[in-house]
Amino acid sequence: MADLVLENLTIAYGDVTAVENISLSIPSGEFLTLLGPSGCGKSTTLFAIAGLNDATSGLIRVGDTELFNGQKTYQ
């Protein structure tokens, strides 16, 4: 297993920002619960980690593998 890292992750849909600059690091083997009211971005964040949503900016990394980096273009 590997650590999951989000750095300054932002997800926007047009003029609506669903997730703004969330940063967290979850060590390998740890559990994390996202808790909040409806519409605060919990599912949107999880969908971006799973690759089902496109993030607008920031970084999603598992171990040494970058799943999303808003600063790079992948071919």
Could you write out the DSSP letters of every residue in 18-50? EEEEEEEEE-TT--------TTSSHHHHHHHHH
Residue identified by tokens 């920031």 is 58
pTM, two decimals, is: 0.86
User: What is the tens place of the pLDDT at every residue in 40-74?
Assistant: 999 999 999 999 998 999 999 999 999 999 876 55
* Interior angle at CA 65, CA 22 and CA 46, nearest 5: 40
Domain extents for the chain?
4-69
Q: Which CATH class is domain 4-69?
A: alpha beta
pLDDT of 71: 75
b/e code 42-53 from CB counts within 10 Å (16+ = b): eebbebbbeeeb
